Amino acid sequence: MTKKDLENFYLLKNQIDNLEKELVRIDKACAKHLKNNATSVELVTLKTSLEDNINKKLKEYYKNYETFLLAINKLCGKHHVVIVLRYLKGFKWEEIAEILHYSTRQVHRLHQEALDILNK
């Protein structure tokens, strides 16, 4: 698993989160229209499209999630923690450093070592 694979996994997770937020916004708009006994075909169409897109991305995410878990199981200790916090939880480098009580430079070093292990 390469750094690009890890980044794509993280970006996919963010896309799903953003789509779900948009879906909630549209659900509220639909509920408002229904309360006024009016329906908006555009809103319903947009909602259906978003749901389809979310489902498609979720399938891709879970497929990649399995690969991600298999890959990070090669890692131990701090290497494992750095990869999980960065790519699964979305923490910033500074936040990871604070959690581990390391400098950001040490965290970057651990990250590179973890990538080297994953690429073997």
Verdict on whether the full-model pTM lies above 0.85: no
Tokens of 29: 């708009």
Q: Which residue, among 85, 87, 88, has the nearest Cα to 98 in the 3D structure?
A: 85
* Tens digit of each residue's pLDDT (9 = 90 or more) over 6-52: 998 899 888 888 888 888 888 787 777 766 655 667 777 877 888 89
* Tens digit of each residue's pLDDT (9 = 90 or more) over 47-101: 788 889 888 888 888 888 888 888 889 999 999 999 999 998 999 999 999 999 9
